[in-house]
A and B are shown apart, each in its own frame.
Chain A
């Protein structure tokens, strides 16, 4: 367990605070931010990467830490942490504050359903920001994050893997990083 720091009404592990960008620390913790930043300078998170196997059209693929985008398919992923169906600011708040806490208890793959539908306003900005937070969570906790989405989220340029399935002439064709896996 990473060391706990109590800030205001909440306790954070140093590992959790590593997820925050400097600008977020400054905006949220105000004058305490420089103290936290100083504290975080000497913190190096060393965790073994978590790899999980996921099933797709009868085949298995290995997911490594990072954000995987899935479009038009449902991966079979056992024991993953499902992000609750929250919207807008509730969703972002969960990603930055509550998801790292859940991973502190047990590191697991994370699944986000319907990312493109999580924002009722400013959807493009919301999707980009949530993917940025998820990438930081995946990087600090070294877990795979699976995001189900469509056109909007697909534009983001930093996915570690892209899985896509579509129906062509009645047959399902699935690709992983552009390489056909079935169909």
Chain B
């Protein structure tokens, strides 16, 4: 979810699981929920964002990164919230390069 607003199905495509996750997030007062028609839009509130930043910091420490991570060039792939298959996957960078050449920005 990160800083984005997501729908219930983006939390999980399994409706029961999505409700369960939302229930937990609401229980700990970490999210803000608004409705757009029949769609629930969920985003982290200040408390949730603070927890996310703490978790990311903890992850860095556990990985032995120590201090704040060095700034990376914007074109480099940010793998922080990518799924596990993406770790060291060479195709992400190859596709990104193709995309950049294609879009030309």
Residues of chain A touching chain B, judged by Cβ–Cβ distance below 8 Å, are 7-10, 21-24, 26-33, 37, 41-42, 44, 46, 66, 89, 92-93, 96-97, 122, 125-126, 128-129, 132, 139
Contact = CB atoms under 8 A, between A and B. Distances in A.
- The CB with the most chain B CB atoms within 10 A, among A7, A126, A129, is that of A129
Size class of the contact patch on chain B: 35 or more
A23 B78 contact: yes
Contacts, number: 105
29 contacts: A8-B105, A9-B102, A10-B102, A23-B77, A23-B78, A23-B86, A26-B78, A27-B77, A27-B96, A28-B100, A28-B103, A29-B103, A32-B105, A41-B4, A46-B37, A46-B39, A89-B91, A92-B94, A93-B95, A93-B99, A93-B102, A96-B99, A97-B99, A122-B89, A125-B85, A125-B89, A132-B85, A139-B9, A139-B13
A128 B96 contact: no
Given A22-B4, A22-B78, A126-B91, A8 B96 contact: no
B5 interface: yes
Contacts of B78: 22-23, 26-27
B2 to A, nearest CB: 7
Contact of B85 (A42, A96, A128): A128
B71 interface: no
Contacts of A10: 102-104
Contacts of A33: 74
Given A44-B41, A125-B90, A29 B85 contact: no
B89 A129 contact: yes
A96 B2 CA distance: 22
A33 B103 CA distance: 12
B94 A31 contact: no
Nearest to B7: A44
Interface in B51-105: 74-83, 85-86, 88-96, 98-100, 102-105
A23 B105 contact: no
- The CB with the most chain A CB atoms within 10 A, among B2, B9, B13, is that of B13
B36 interface: yes
Contacts of B102: 9-10, 93, 97
